[in-house]
């Protein structure tokens, strides 16, 4: 198709995800659907040949960047040998070898890898395993899940129930019952979160308070009914909330005390995003389950996984018990082969070392934006950052809904893209710009991001 045919077909037939299609309901270039046709390194190119720095790694996915022929060749080779085989009572070498590789990276006793097609399915699998495990071990009432406010865990019915974003949920209710919310770890908004009890000046005290609210929630629901706590190492929605010092250690203590499974949702944070293979390693805790996807294949083929501890596999290890759950494309041979090659490149090119080396420079470059009056907070870890926008730095006053629509979406989001930066402007929580570039980015790319963001935010401030 030529460009005009692509536009017509997109508007007539393609139902895009999380998209206000009304934005494209009209004629003229201002109503065109953006069409990306090519990727090379850390850049994307549209159908007009314009280049964009991929500041979001696609969607927290493209760890190694675009155009890696080694990954394409691994997919082609596997497709020629064995294009498909389900893991339903059968196995194939790519899945076996990838499970072995993942288990070698995972912390502690997390040695059992259950493959899925993506992150939402991994979260669904973790909740189902938690309920199944407790039924098999004599605690059939343990089924409830606790997660944090504003947190995003997926869009399937179970994962959406665990998600803590009311605006994403209300149109699909009733959802799966028995999920409950606790405060997140946004130190910048600590005073609001704690009702003025803590102002965030002592992050460790705030982290202890936030963790303790999990114990309060377990007590309120009844310890004999709570199966799992789902938390991200660095929370995505709301704009990258790192954990305060000691937070994860206290959460682990609470889960152990009440016999509640700790699920580390690392769909974004795993595979180098924070400079370690898993976020649990970054913050020195051992969960019972890790959910992951995205960076496992650097986006070259869809794949996710639930990684469970030996303890959770034990009821299924012998006898007639079966985890009656699975997906047609979970552990797809082509995806598994790509995952293996992806992780081999991680090792060969020392990707984790590169993130650890460059992360301080990424932070320092973004923190230059603190001199802009519209920037309230720059926060994150590794190659995963959020820039919160405010109307008043001194009071931390945020935008109204109307201002978010007009400034964040109507100007900032479009302005960044027009200036050659693909990233995310988001107000699931407070208004933020999120950056999560490919792990192969260096200082020149950090500078390019900062300069584009600075130019757009200076213009946005004039509109407040």
Q: Please report, for the domain that includes residue 341, its CATH number.
A: 3.40.640.10
For residues 302 and 377, membership in a common domain is answered with no
Q: What is the mean pLDDT of the chain?
A: 97
* DSSP classification of residue 66: B
98-139 residue pLDDT tens: 999 999 999 999 999 999 999 999 999 999 999 999 999 999
For residues 298 and 359, membership in a common domain is answered with no
Instruction: Calculate mean pLDDT across residues 293-314.
Output: 98
Instruction: Calculate mean pLDDT across residues 246-260.
Output: 98
For residues 311 and 429, membership in a common domain is answered with no
For residues 281 and 251, membership in a common domain is answered with yes
Which CATH number covers residue 399? Answer: 3.90.1150.10
How far apart are alpha carbons 451 and 459 in whole angstroms? 13
Beta bridge partners, 397, equal 392
Identify the pLDDT of residue 26. Answer: 87
Identify the pLDDT of residue 410. Answer: 87
31-56 residue pLDDT tens: 999 999 999 999 999 999 999 999 99
For residues 111 and 210, membership in a common domain is answered with yes
Per DSSP, the chain holds a count of helices (H) and strands (E) of 17, 15
Identify the pLDDT of residue 426. Answer: 87
Give a yes or no: residue 22 inside a domain.
Answer: no
- Return the structure tokens found at 423: 């990233």
End-to-end CA distance of the chain: 42
Torsion on CA atoms 197, 201, 207, 213, rounded to nearest 10: 10
E strands along 36-109, which residues?
36-40, 43-46, 51-54
- Domain end (from 319, 348, 377): 348
Identify the pLDDT of residue 200. Answer: 96
Query: Cβ of 105: how many Cβ atoms within 10 Å?
Result: 17
How far apart are alpha carbons 215 and 182 in whole angstroms? 10
For residues 45 and 61, membership in a common domain is answered with yes
Give a yes or no: residue 20 inside a domain.
Answer: no
**Per-residue confidence at 27, pLDDT binned at 50, 70, 90?**
confident
Q: Widest CA span of the chain, in angstroms? A: 69
Give a yes or no: residue 26 inside a domain.
Answer: no
**Per-residue confidence at 182, pLDDT binned at 50, 70, 90?**
very high
Identify the pLDDT of residue 45. Answer: 98
Helix (H, G, I), strand (E, B) or coil at 305: strand
312-327 residue pLDDT tens: 999 999 999 999 999 9
* DSSP classification of residue 424: E
How far apart are alpha carbons 415 and 133 in whole angstroms? 49
**Per-residue confidence at 259, pLDDT binned at 50, 70, 90?**
very high
**Per-residue confidence at 29, pLDDT binned at 50, 70, 90?**
confident
Give a yes or no: residue 181 inside a domain.
Answer: yes
- Domain end (from 333, 348, 363): 348
For residues 323 and 186, membership in a common domain is answered with yes
Positive or negative, the Cα torsion across 364, 365, 371, 376? negative
For residues 331 and 447, membership in a common domain is answered with no
Give a yes or no: residue 14 inside a domain.
Answer: no
- What pTM value is reported for the model? 0.96
Please give the tally of structural domains in the chain.
2
For residues 56 and 194, membership in a common domain is answered with no
For residues 193 and 85, membership in a common domain is answered with yes
Give a yes or no: residue 328 inside a domain.
Answer: yes
Give a yes or no: residue 305 inside a domain.
Answer: yes
For residues 77 and 198, membership in a common domain is answered with yes
For residues 131 and 270, membership in a common domain is answered with yes
Give a yes or no: residue 288 inside a domain.
Answer: yes
**Per-residue confidence at 217, pLDDT binned at 50, 70, 90?**
very high
Containing domain of residue 392, as a range?
34-67+350-461
- Domain end (from 298, 318, 348): 348
């Amino acid at each position: 198709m030529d460009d005009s045919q692509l536009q017509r077909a997109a508007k007539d037939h393609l139902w895009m995800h999380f998209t206000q299609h009304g934005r494209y309901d009209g004629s003229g270039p201002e109503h065109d659907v953006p069409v990306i046709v090519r990727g090379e390194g850390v850049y994307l190119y549209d159908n007009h040949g314009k280049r964009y720095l991929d500041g979001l790694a696609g969607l927290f996915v493209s760890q190694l960047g675009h155009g890696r022929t080694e990954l394409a060749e691994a997919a082609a080779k596997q497709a020629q040998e064995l294009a498909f085989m389900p893991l339903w009572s059968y196995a194939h070498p790519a899945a076996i070898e990838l499970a072995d590789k993942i288990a070698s990276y995972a912390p502690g006793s997390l040695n059992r890898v259950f493959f899925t097609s993506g992150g939402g399915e991994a979260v669904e699998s973790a909740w189902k395993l938690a309920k199944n495990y407790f039924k098999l071990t004599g605690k059939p009432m343990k089924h409830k899940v606790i997660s944090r406010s504003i947190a995003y865990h997926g869009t399937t019915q179970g994962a959406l129930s665990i998600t803590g974003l009311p605006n994403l949920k209300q149109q699909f209710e009733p959802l799966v019952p028995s999920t409950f919310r606790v405060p997140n770890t946004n130190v910048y908004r600590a005073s609001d979160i704690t009702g003025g009890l803590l102002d965030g000046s002592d992050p460790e005290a705030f982290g202890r308070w936030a963790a303790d609210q999990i114990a309060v929630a377990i007590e309120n629901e009844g310890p004999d009914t709570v199966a799992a706590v789902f938390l991200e190492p660095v929370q995505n929605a709301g704009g990258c909330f790192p954990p305060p010092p000691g937070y994860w250690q206290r959460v682990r203590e609470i889960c152990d005390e009440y016999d509640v499974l700790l699920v580390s949702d690392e769909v974004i944070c795993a595979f180098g995003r924070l400079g370690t293979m898993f976020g649990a390693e970054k913050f020195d805790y051992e969960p019972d389950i890790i959910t992951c996807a995205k960076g496992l294949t650097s986006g070259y083929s869809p794949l996710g996984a639930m990684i469970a501890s030996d303890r959770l596999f034990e009821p299924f290890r012998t006898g007639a018990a079966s985890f009656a759950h699975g997906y047609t494309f979970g552990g797809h041979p082509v995806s598994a082969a790509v995952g293996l090659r992806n992780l081999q490149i991680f090792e060969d090119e020392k990707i984790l070392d590169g993130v650890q080396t460059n992360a301080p420079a990424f932070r320092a470059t973004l923190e230059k934006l603190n001199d802009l009056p519209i920037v309230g907070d720059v926060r994150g870890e590794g190659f995963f950052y959020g820039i919160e926008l405010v109307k008043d730095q001194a009071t931390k006053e945020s935008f109204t809904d109307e201002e978010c629509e007009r400034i964040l979406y109507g100007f900032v989001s479009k302005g960044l893209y027009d200036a050659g930066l693909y990233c995310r402007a988001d107000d699931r929580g407070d208004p933020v710009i999120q950056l999560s570039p490919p792990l192969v980015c260096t200082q020149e790319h950090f500078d390019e991001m900062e300069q584009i963001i600075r130019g757009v935010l200076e213009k946005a401030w004039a509109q407040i």
